[in-house]
Amino acid sequence: MNARSDIKEIKNAIRAVGLRATPARVATLRLLRQATSPMTHGEVAAELDENGVDKATAFRNL
C-alpha cells in the first residue's frame, strides 16, 4: 500500500466514526497502525512531536 492510499484510508476511518480528519488525528492513527509493538503515551507523544503535533493534542487524540 502506498502512502497516499494509506492516508486516504486513515482519513476515511476517522470520518466513519464522526470525527474530523485533522492532520494530528491522521498522524496519530498512522503512527499507531505502523507500530510493531504497543507504545506508551510518552512514546506516541515524542514521535508525534517530531511531526509538529504538540503533547496536549497527542494526549487528547489518544
Domain spans of the chain, in order of start: 3-61
pLDDT interval class at 3 (50, 70, 90): confident
Distance (Å, whole) CA 5 – CA 3: 6
Predicted local distance difference test score (pLDDT) of residue 55: 94
Distance (Å, whole) CA 2 – CA 15: 20
> What is the per-residue pLDDT across 4-62, written as a single tens digit (0 to 9) for each?
889 999 999 999 999 999 999 999 999 999 999 999 999 999 999 999 999 999 999 99
Cα dist from 28 to 3, 40, 56, 59, whole Å: 15, 13, 13, 10
Cell readout for 57 is 493534542
Cell readout for 60 is 487528547
